Amino acid sequence: MVIAEELAKKQKAISIAEFFEKNRQILGFDSSPRCLLTSVKEAVDNSLDACEEAGILPDIHIKLENASKDNITLIVEDNGPGIVREQIPKVFAKLLYGSRFHSVKQSRGQQGIGISAAVLYSQLTSGRPAKIISKIDKDAPAHYFELLINTQTNEPEILVDKITEWDRLRGTRIELEMEASYAKGRRQSVYEYLKDTAVVNPHARITLIEPDNNVIVFERATDRMPVQAAEILPHPHGIELGTLMKMLRYSETDNLDEFLRGSFSRIGPQTSKEICKKAGLSPDADPKSITLEEAKRIHEAFSKVKILAPATNCLSPITEELIRKGLGKEHTVDFIETTTRPASVHSGHPFQVEAGIAYGGNLPKEEKVEILRFANRVPLLYQQGACAITHAVENLNWKNYSLLQPGGIPIGPAIILVHVASTHVPFTSESKEAIADVPEIVEEIELALKDIARRLKLYLSRQDNLEKRREKEEIIYHILPRIAKKVGEILEKPTPDITPVVAKIMGNVFVQRVVQRNGKSCDVEIRIKNYRDTVHHFDLHETLPFPIESPSPEPKKIPIGKQVDYIWKISLKPGEQKAIVYKLLEDASNLPQPVVEGIEQELITGAKAVRV
């Protein structure tokens, strides 16, 4: 008994800050390069969230300075709404302090640990306080703080609190000195993180100033803000029994019907009655008096009653259009396809999966496909092998979709992008670098991957057919000219133009410009015939340094410097032929070849095709 009392005296509670002080690796502070990356990530995530909530196009500056041999000073500045003076110490110097943990809506931050953990790491390794400036309006004063975290109490220690001059309309600036190193040329680096962030946040402008003062700007690709996520109630599908019991126990409603309608999304009066009927309970039952067995029946009724899928307004997906723009902005590729899955639910939390695949261009052909993983618009650079996204990629048989797969991740010149947007992303740890293998999420990722993989297969199959056509056309162009020349010699006639014959043999769309001089002017006719067995729609361009006269049909005109691009929209059924005519008051003997847009080069003869 005495021993037990002695042991009891030694037991005491510890603060969350004290715990992470001794276990900082859990938060992603386990190596010199990663510590810097984690700090940048947390600061940038906060800036993006703040700007988007305020409807401000983000303009974020990250500056890295060599403070000493082993230390780097990190400065992150944004143009967000700023933070009111009273909240600044708690936001930056109190772990588990935030506004997003209890709200059911998509956001980058969830736990209120991120930026305060960076402050904690900074003070542990440099001994210096965090320096913060924040301003909420052009007419409001800028507040300057120097802060430390008291790890025993998890409370901020304010060293300096004053008003300062700051030449910004509004925003927040944080400066941290820490033991860290800046790594270049590796996948897990500040540069790669910002590059990936720019892909899925094309509305943001991000500027990085490296320690050697090299400036890199990731310019925004759109001025369109993401759809603002709205806060909703949890969805009954996937809610755990223990969570339901807790909600019932602490309910402030007087009856079960009000509890169901007021605690969950997509449960209206009729659905509530059906749930109560399936559970064998009265709608007037007191929620606080519900027993374990009765709670189990309610829990089972959730899966038996038809309940609408969760509302998607609590989510803010990137959208297929912006994924395409983001991938195209940061990578040179030949093919991009994207898809967005309908919203689904895990543990009562709505989530949505988006995926994209880019192929070709200057991507390496003999290496593993690059996987870009994102959760709520945040790149996941570490723990790839432990992530549900990677496992879903590995689960797919990519050989069925024309990519080599000796084992695990496929090989080829491709980038696979997967974004999981959720009101609660189930990360495997507090460092938020990998998504847990929740069956519902893995299944949705696999369905999204299959969708884009099928489209890639169609593209590669089409490219293979086009390659065969190229080879066939090369053979024809190698043989026919010789035959035409020999026939001309036998008949003692000029060698005929074999281009129309090639077009007919290949089953191509044929374009031929015929110019006839008419005194000082020229009559131009562009003849177009479809030898293919399918309808074709495309644009025909004539880009000339001088005007055309009496065109028929009338083209669209776009000035390009000293030239004008004349554009005709062409639509040809199988076997159909059309003509474009116009006059020129200039010499037309050296006109460039006509250009077509909207049809592959392999399917056209007599004109140059350009990519759409």
Sheet holding 142-150, edge to edge: 155-164, 142-150, 130-135, 171-179, 71-78, 59-66, 205-209, 215-218
Q: Is the pLDDT of residue 336 over 60?
A: yes
Which residue in 137, 123, 98, 103 sits closest to 39, CA to CA?
Answer: 123
The pLDDT, as a whole number, for residue 172 is 94
- Domain 499-610 CATH class label: mainly beta
More confident residue, 349 or 147: 147
Average pLDDT over residues 521-543: 89
Average pLDDT over residues 135-144: 92
Class of domain 241-304: mainly alpha
Task: Place 450 in a pLDDT band, splitting at 50, 70 and 90.
Answer: very high
Q: Mean pLDDT for the chain?
A: 84
Interval 186-236: pLDDT, tens: 777 889 889 888 888 888 999 999 999 999 999 988 888 877 777 778 888
Token readout for 522 is 């020229």
Task: Find tokens 């006269």 and name the residue.
Answer: 549
Strand, coil or helix: 231 = coil
Residue 539 host element (H or E): strand 536-544
5-9, 313-317, 321-325: least confident range: 5-9
- Give backbone dihedrals phi and psi of 562, rounded to 5 degrees, phi first: -90, 0
Which of the four pLDDT bands, split at 50, 70 and 90, describes residue 67?
confident
Candidate from 74-88, 156-170, 303-317, 349-363 with smallest mean pLDDT: 303-317
Examine the pLDDT at 302 and tell me if it is beyond 50.
Answer: yes
Of residues 382 and 486, more confidently modeled: 382
DSSP string, 154-189: TEEEEEEEEEE----SSEEEEEEEEE-----SSSSS
pLDDT-derived band at 91, boundaries 50, 70, 90: confident
- The answer, yes or no, to whether residue 357 has pLDDT greater than 80, is yes
Give the pLDDT mean for 551-558: 92
**Lowest-pLDDT range of 190-204, 417-431, 477-491:** 477-491
Q: Quick check: 494 pLDDT over 90?
A: no
Q: Is the pLDDT score of 87 beyond 50?
A: yes
Q: Taking CA 152 as the corner, what is the angle to CA 150 and CA 154, rounded to the nearest 5 degrees?
A: 55
599 class by beta-carbon count within 10 Å (0-12 exposed, 13-18 middle, 19+ buried): buried
Question: Is the pLDDT reported for residue 469 higher than 50?
Answer: yes
Residue 485 has pLDDT above 70, yes or no: yes
Q: 523 and 515 in contact (C-beta within 8 Å)?
A: yes
pTM above 0.85, yes or no: no
- Nearest-angstrom CA–CA distance, 574 and 507: 10
What is the C-alpha separation between 410 and 389, in angstroms, rounded? 14
Determine the pLDDT at residue 465. Answer: 63
Domain 334-461 classified CATH 3.30.230.10?
A: yes
Q: Does pLDDT of 516 surpass 70?
A: yes
Residue 324 has pLDDT above 90, yes or no: no
pLDDT band at 496 (very low <50, low <70, confident <90, very high): low
Cis peptide before 226 (omega within 30 of 0): no
Better-predicted residue by pLDDT, 81 or 34: 81
Domain spans in the chain, listed from the N-terminal domain onward: 16-218, 241-304, 334-461, 499-610
Query: What band does 387 get if pLDDT is binned at 50, 70 and 90?
Result: very high
The pLDDT assigned to 112 comes to 43
The CATH fold of domain 16-218: Heat Shock Protein 90 (3.30.565)
57-61, 132-136, 420-424, 589-593: least confident range: 589-593
Instruction: Indicate if 334-461 has the same CATH topology as 241-304.
Output: no
